[in-house]
Amino acid sequence: MGNVSNLEQWAVRERLAFVERVAWWRGAVNRGDLREVFGISSAQASADLQLYLELNPGSMAYNLKTKRYESSSGMPCVLHGPRLEEGVRQFLGEVAPVSVLGTGLAGSRVDLSAAPMRKASPVVERHVFLSLLHRQRLRIRYWSVRSSRDSVREIAPHALGHDGYRWYVRAWCFEDSGFKDFVLSRIERADWPGAPFLPGVRDEAWENFVDVILVPNQSLDELQRRTIERDYGMEGGHLRFRVREAMLEYCLAHLRVRGGVERPEHLELAGPPQPVPAPSA
Q: What is the CATH number of the domain that holds 59?
A: 1.10.10.10
Domain tally, the chain:
3
189 and 227 share a domain? no
Spell out the residues 6+ positions from residue 15 whose beta carbon is closer than 8 angstroms to its own.
34, 38, 40, 48
Domain assignment of residue 56, given as a range: 2-71
158 and 126 share a domain? yes
152 and 168 share a domain? yes
200, 228, 246 - which closes a domain: 200
Residue 84 included in any domain: no
233 and 195 share a domain? no
Residue 14 included in any domain: yes
Q: What is the pLDDT of residues 36-77, one digit of tens each?
A: 999 999 999 999 999 999 999 999 999 999 999 999 999 999
Which pLDDT band holds residue 33 (cuts at 50, 70, 90)? very high
160, 183, 200 - which closes a domain: 200
Question: 102 pLDDT exceeds 90?
Answer: no
Question: 163 pLDDT exceeds 70?
Answer: yes
Residue 89 included in any domain: no
194 and 222 share a domain? no
Question: 4 pLDDT exceeds 50?
Answer: no
Amino acid identity for residue 49 in this structure: L
pLDDT of residue 254: 83
The mean predicted confidence, pLDDT, of the chain is: 87
pLDDT of residue 100: 41
What is the share, in percent, of the chain residues with pLDDT greater than 70? Answer: 83
Spell out the residues 6+ positions from residue 273 whose beta carbon is closer than 8 angstroms to its own.
none
Q: What is the pLDDT of residues 222-241, one digit of tens each?
A: 999 999 999 999 999 999 99
Which pLDDT band holds residue 101 (cuts at 50, 70, 90)? very low
pLDDT of residue 104: 47
Residue 265 included in any domain: no
Residue 78 included in any domain: no
175 and 237 share a domain? no
Q: What is the pLDDT of residues 237-275, one digit of tens each?
A: 999 999 999 999 988 888 888 665 566 666 555 666 676
Classify burial at 138, counting beta carbons within 10 Å of its beta carbon; exposed 0-12, middle 13-18, buried 19 or more. Answer: buried
Tell me what the mean pLDDT of segment 176-203 comes to: 96
In terms of DSSP bridges, do strands 138-144 and 60-63 run parallel, antiparallel, or are they unpaired? unpaired
pLDDT of residue 270: 60
Question: 107 pLDDT exceeds 60?
Answer: no
Which pLDDT band holds residue 103 (cuts at 50, 70, 90)? very low
Residue 246 included in any domain: yes
218 and 182 share a domain? no
65 and 126 share a domain? no
What are the angstrom distances between the C-alpha of 172 and each of 137, 143, 150, 190, 202?
Answer: 9, 17, 18, 15, 10
pLDDT of residue 96: 57
**What gap in Å lies between CA 166 and CA 160, rounded to an integer?**
11
pLDDT of residue 3: 47
CATH assignment at residue 126: 2.30.30
pLDDT of residue 260: 59
Residue 34 included in any domain: yes
What is the share, in percent, of the chain residues with pLDDT greater than 90? Answer: 69
Which pLDDT band holds residue 105 (cuts at 50, 70, 90)? very low
Cβ(124)–Cβ(189) below 8 Å: yes
Residue 175 included in any domain: yes
pTM of the model: 0.84
pLDDT of residue 2: 46
194 and 212 share a domain? no
249 and 185 share a domain? no
195 and 232 share a domain? no
162 and 230 share a domain? no
200, 224, 241 - which closes a domain: 200
Higher-scoring residue by pLDDT: 218, 115: 218
